[in-house]
Chain A
Amino acid sequence: MVSLEVKNITKSFGGLQALNGVDMDLKKGEILALIGPNGAGKTTLFNVITGSFPPTHGQIVFKGDNITGLQPHEICIRGIGRTFQLVKPFEEMNVLDNVMIGSFNRTRNRTQAEQQAGEILEFAGLAGRRTKLANELTIADRKRLELARALATQPEILMLDEVMTGLTPAESDVAQELVRKIRDHGITVLLIEHVMRAVMRLSDRIVVLHYGKVIAEGTPKDISQNERVIEAYLGRQSFASHK
Chain B
Amino acid sequence: MLSPFLLRLAILILFWAYLGQCWNILSGYAGQFSFGHAAYFGLGAYTSTLLLVNHGLTPWVGMLAGGLVAMSGGLFIGFLCFRYKVRGVYFALATLAFAEILRLIAINAAFVRKSMGIQIPLRGGNSWLRFQFETTNIPYYYIILAMVIGSIIVVHVIQRDKLGYYFKAIHQNEEAAAALGVNLLRYKMVAMAISCFMTGIGGTFYAQYFFFIDPDLVFGPEVSIEMLLRPILGGVGVVWGPLVGALVLTPLSEVTRGLIRNPPAFLPFLFPLKGRSGVDIMLYGIIVIIVIIFMQHGLVGMIMAKRRKWARERHGME
Give the chain B neighbours of A233 by CB distance below 8 A: none
Q: Is B181 within 8 A of A90, CB to CB?
A: no
Task: Give Cα A52–Cα B176 distance, bound, in whole angstroms.
Answer: 11
Q: Is B180 within 8 A of A101, CB to CB?
A: yes
Q: In whole Å, how far is A124's beta carbon from the nearest beta carbon of chain B?
A: 15
Q: In whole Å, how far is A78's beta carbon from the nearest beta carbon of chain B?
A: 9
Q: In whole Å, how far is A172's beta carbon from the nearest beta carbon of chain B?
A: 23
- Are A105 and B176 also in contact (CB < 8 A) when A90-B168, A110-B161 are? no
Q: In whole Å, how far is B15's beta carbon from the nearest beta carbon of chain A?
A: 30
Task: Give Cα A152–Cα B169 distance, bound, in whole angstroms.
Answer: 15
Is A95 on the interface with B (CB-CB < 8 A)? no
Is B262 on the interface with A (CB-CB < 8 A)? no
Give the chain B neighbours of A149 by CB distance below 8 A: 176, 180
Q: Is B162 within 8 A of A84, CB to CB?
A: no
The SS class assigned to the B binding surface is helix
Is A50 on the interface with B (CB-CB < 8 A)? yes
Is A77 on the interface with B (CB-CB < 8 A)? yes
Interface centre among A91, A101, A108, by most chain B C-beta atoms within 10 angstroms, is A101
Task: Give Cα A90–Cα B161 distance, bound, in whole angstroms.
Answer: 17
Task: Give Cα A108–Cα B172 distance, bound, in whole angstroms.
Answer: 21
Q: Is A101 within 8 A of B182, CB to CB?
A: yes
Q: In whole Å, how far is A116's beta carbon from the nearest beta carbon of chain B?
A: 13
Give the chain A neighbours of B177 by CB distance below 8 A: 90, 101
Which are the 5 A-B pairs with shortest beta-carbon distances?
Answer: A105-B181, A88-B176, A76-B181, A72-B178, A90-B172
For A, the interface residue count at a CB cutoff of 8 angstroms equals: 29
Q: Is B162 within 8 A of A82, CB to CB?
A: no
Give A80's nearest chain B residue, CB to CB: B179
Of the residues A52, A91, A153, contact of B181 by C-beta under 8 Å? A153
Task: Give Cα A101–Cα B181 distance, bound, in whole angstroms.
Answer: 9
Interface string of A31-51 (1 = CB under 8 A from B): 000000000000000000010
Q: In whole Å, how far is A45's beta carbon from the nearest beta carbon of chain B?
A: 15
Is B222 on the interface with A (CB-CB < 8 A)? no
Interface string of A197-224 (1 = CB under 8 A from B): 0000000000000000000000000000
Interface string of B150-166 (1 = CB under 8 A from A): 00000000001110011
Q: Is B175 within 8 A of A88, CB to CB?
A: yes
Q: Is B178 within 8 A of A84, CB to CB?
A: no
- Are A102 and B180 also in contact (CB < 8 A) when A88-B175, A90-B168, A93-B172 are? yes
Q: Is B176 within 8 A of A110, CB to CB?
A: no
Q: List residues of B (29-88) whose CB comes within 8 Å of A's CBs.
A: none
Interface band, chain B: 10 to 19
Q: In whole Å, how far is A54's beta carbon from the nearest beta carbon of chain B?
A: 15
Q: In whole Å, how far is A90's beta carbon from the nearest beta carbon of chain B?
A: 4
Is B207 on the interface with A (CB-CB < 8 A)? no
Q: Is B179 within 8 A of A84, CB to CB?
A: yes
Give the chain B neighbours of A82 by CB distance below 8 A: 179
Q: List 27 A-B contacts (CB under 8 A).
A: A71-B183, A72-B175, A72-B178, A73-B178, A73-B181, A73-B183, A73-B184, A76-B181, A81-B179, A81-B180, A82-B179, A84-B179, A90-B169, A90-B173, A90-B176, A90-B177, A93-B168, A97-B168, A101-B165, A102-B180, A104-B166, A104-B181, A105-B180, A110-B160, A113-B165, A152-B180, A153-B181
Q: In whole Å, how far is A213's beta carbon from the nearest beta carbon of chain B?
A: 26
Give the chain A neighbours of B176 by CB distance below 8 A: 84, 88-90, 149
Is A92 on the interface with B (CB-CB < 8 A)? yes
Is A120 on the interface with B (CB-CB < 8 A)? no
Give the chain B neighbours of A113 by CB distance below 8 A: 162, 165
Interface string of A117-161 (1 = CB under 8 A from B): 000000000000000000000000000000001101100000000
